[in-house]
Amino acid sequence: MEQLYGPVRDYAWGSRSAIAELQGRPVPSDGPEAELWLGAHPGAPATVDRDGARVSLLDLLAADPGHWLGAQVLDRFGPRLPFLLKVLAAEAPLSLQVHPDAEQARAGYAADCARADGPRNYVDPYHKPELLVALTPFDALCGFRDPAVSAAALASFGVPALAPVVDALTDGESGLREAVRLLLGWPAAERAGLVGAVVAAPVTGPDAALVRELAARYPDDPGVLVALLLHRVRLAPGEAIWMPAGNLHAYLRGTGVELMAASDNVLRCGLTPKHVDPVELLRILRFDVLDDPVVAARSVVPGVVTWPVPVDDFALYRVAGTAGSAEVRLPVPGPRVVLCVAGTVTVGDGAGVVTLRCGEAAIGTAEAGPLILGGPGEAFVAAAGLR
């Protein structure tokens, strides 16, 4: 194992305290800090020390992929780290967004690369399923809820213009597509009036509070109303949500560890000043009702849990503090990234031992042995999901 240094992305919705506090830096930070990236994605690769200088993990992988990835990962994914580990810290809502599946990503990227002005929606040819585990209380929108519940919520505001949307939702799952299409296609000149009418309605309750919270930032965005079609999920620390391809979601507030396939493909439809493409989003969006977006943790060995997901790009483990001299042996395959999120953790793999403080990370190659973790802290381990 050797220490890994991840860049911090300064997106506007980021916190000025969460990542800085995790890493023991002064608070508040100079600007918003949204995501700590611990991987080899070309957008912001992490680095390691080599002869007194920081060297990109992306370059090291390219120079010797077999050493870093191992034959199994190399055969399945090619010469690239298939996962990206992040710390995400949201002080304000992120965009309403969806990610493509593998086939959609390949086709979309090829089409975008053929454009004269370059890629617009797809920045790479890979899918981007995501798993997020809360480090603090975490608030999110994730997956479509029962359309009947959404219809009742919209109808309760008593806004006549919303009647076609309510009618569509009464058709159940088959009407979800039409309801989303109507809202996202609302004439631009009428959007502020529609959102304003909903905000002004004399209605109380969680749905009304959500609309007013979002409308305070995006007063003319129909995504404020699309949000009412989704589950509002409040995670306690240690709870997780799974976002498969085609699932509409938005993070609202909180800090979490996020593990995903190594892609940056995002299709947005609202709650953002960034590029939106409702037509393309509707094409890849899945209109299935999600019964429960929360993923239950499963014990692996004493002190270690994981959250099973139906992809082989990645797997995530949380290792709790060990007592006294006890150690945890974790024989996960391929390259491994370890992030300490509390206290101190010692991690070795037969090729080297690193002691990590809170907010620090390490990486080990596929050629090293099983991970051995000890110490009173808490850590997350990211690895390929191959078995």
Query: Where in the sequence numbering do the catalytic residues fall?
Result: 268
Residue 225 · residue 195 · CB < 8 Å = yes
193 contacts: CB under 8 Å, gap ≥ 6: none
DSSP 159-207: -GGGHHHHHHHTTTHHHHHHHHHHHHTS-HHHHHHHHHHHHHSS--SHH
Report the phi/psi class of residue 172: left, alpha or beta, with left for phi > 0 and alpha for psi in -120 to 50. left
56 burial level (CB within 10 Å; 0-12, 13-18, 19+): middle
As given in the structure block, the two tokens for residue 214 are 């979002």
The reply, when asked if residue 104 is annotated as ligand binding, is no
362 contacts: CB under 8 Å, gap ≥ 6: 1, 2, 3, 4, 337, 338, 347, 354, 356
Residue 294 · residue 117 · CB < 8 Å = no
Amino acid at 212: R
Q: CA 168: distance to chain centroid?
A: 30
Residue 295 · residue 308 · CB < 8 Å = yes
The reply, when asked if residue 97 is annotated as ligand binding, is yes
3-state percent breakdown (helix, strand, coil) of the chain, nearest 5: 25, 30, 40
Residue 264 · residue 123 · CB < 8 Å = yes
Tokens 């019964």, located at residue: 291
Residue 204 · residue 111 · CB < 8 Å = no
Q: CA 153: distance to chain centroid?
A: 27
The reply, when asked if residue 41 is annotated as ligand binding, is no
101 burial level (CB within 10 Å; 0-12, 13-18, 19+): middle
Largest CA distance in the chain: 68
The reply, when asked if residue 130 is annotated as ligand binding, is yes
Distance CA 356, CA 306 (A): 21
Binding residues for Zn(2+): 97, 99, 130, 249
Binding residues: 97, 99, 130, 249
